[in-house]
Amino acid sequence: MINEPFATGNSIIHRLDPRIRVGLTCGYVFVVALSYQFSVLVVALVISLALIVISQVKTTEVLKRIIWVNALIFLLWLLLPFTFYGDVLTHIGSFAIYRPGVVLAAQITLKSNAILLASIALMATMSFATLGHALYRLHIPEKIVHLLLMTYRYVFVIEQEYLRLVRAAKIRGFRPGTNANTYRTYSYVVGMLFVRAAARAERVHQAMLCRGFKGKFYSLQEFQISSVSWIFAILMTAIIVGLAFMEWSRFIPLF
């Protein structure tokens, strides 16, 4: 169920310094999320697609995620054009379609896809453990990073635990439906999941104390910024600044 299909690979992007990738992704996605001009959004989508191509990630996995995100966006297309009042664009039967609703739905579609693709290409191409260490080097508070790594470490274990509980329920003839028995069963599964998680946490904590845990995780990975990373950083920063300039230059009185 839970996996990291993009994390391994040997493309240029996979080899870039994780800190640089995290920083650039944040900058890029914020600029895209706050842009409204179609020219900016289309350029951003093209750049994100280019990043996906460079990162050589599995196309089928990318497509799965694109379909997921766009299924949600499709709901917006069903709602916004009818509820977002403004100039009437056209009529379908007795329903009016409003122009601002269509414009907004189109903007959100472009933005979401551009952000999704860029995050896959730049962020999902590192393992979660690497992300944790990169965040630590970027001076994210230590406790958050600990919590992040701890959660990541045990999410797969807990998932196995959950699958075991569900298997046991199925063997006893459990078939989910809309009835009290189903909800009770799920409540007990969830309850048991939390009980086992807490018991495991206790053991893990004791094991950590035995090994001399003093509130610090050490990373043996040395981060070194290669020249390729620097070139990529400079290029990407130029792109981010360029997009921001395209979007907001009309607010600068000189232009």
- Binding to other proteins (CB under 8 A) within 173-192 occurs at 176-178, 182-184, 186-192
- Rg, the chain, Cα only: 23
Q: What is the DSSP-derived secondary structure letter of residue 221? A: P
Transcribe 34-73 into DSSP letters.
T---HHHHHHHHHHHHHHHHHHT--HHHHHHHHHHHHHHH
Cβ closest to other proteins, residue 71 vs residue 227: 71
> Whole-number minimum distance, CB 228 to other proteins, in Å?
23
Which tokens go with 246? 């395209």
Of 49-57, 89-97, 155-163, 230-238, the window that binds other proteins (rule: CB under 8 A) is 155-163
Which range touches other proteins (CB under 8 A), out of 23-31, 45-53, 88-96, 231-239?
23-31
Contact 161, 169 (CB under 8 A): no
User: Are the C-beta atoms of 41 and 110 separated by less than 8 Å?
Assistant: yes
236 binds other proteins (CB under 8 A): no
State both tokens at 40.
Answer: 């900016």
Query: Of the two residues 230 and 245, which places its CB atom closer to other proteins in the complex?
Result: 245
Where does 79-191 show beta strands of DSSP type E? 88-92, 95-98
What is the CA 243 to chain-centroid distance, rounded?
Answer: 22
C-beta of 80: minimal distance to other proteins in Å?
Answer: 7
Q: Does position 99 bind other proteins by CB under 8 A?
A: no
Q: 14, 18, 21, 25: which one contacts other proteins (CB under 8 A)? A: 25
Q: Which of 9, 49, 99, 100 binds other proteins (CB under 8 A)?
A: 100
**Binding mask 192-231 vs other proteins (x if CB under 8 A, - otherwise)?**
xxxx-xx-xxx-xx--x----x-x----------------
Pairwise CA distance, residues 81 & 65, whole Å: 25
Q: Return the closest-CA partner of residue 22 out of 179, 137, 169, 172.
A: 137
Quick check: 50 binds other proteins (CB under 8 A)? no
User: Between the CA of residue 187 and those of 151, 165, 182, 191, 242, what are the distances in Å?
Assistant: 22, 12, 9, 6, 52
Note whether 248 binds other proteins by CB under 8 A: no
> Which range touches other proteins (CB under 8 A), out of 11-19, 102-110, 221-229, 233-241?
102-110
Looking at beta carbons only, is 217 or 230 nearer to other proteins?
217
In 3D space, the residue among 229, 2, 240, 59 whose CA is nearest the CA of residue 134 turns out to be 229
CB of 84 to other proteins, least distance (A): 5
Nearest partner of 55 among 241, 236, 220, judged by Cα: 236
Residue (107 or 237) nearer to other proteins, CB = 107
Q: Which residue in the set 151, 181, 221, 249 belongs to the binding site for other proteins (CB under 8 A)?
A: 151
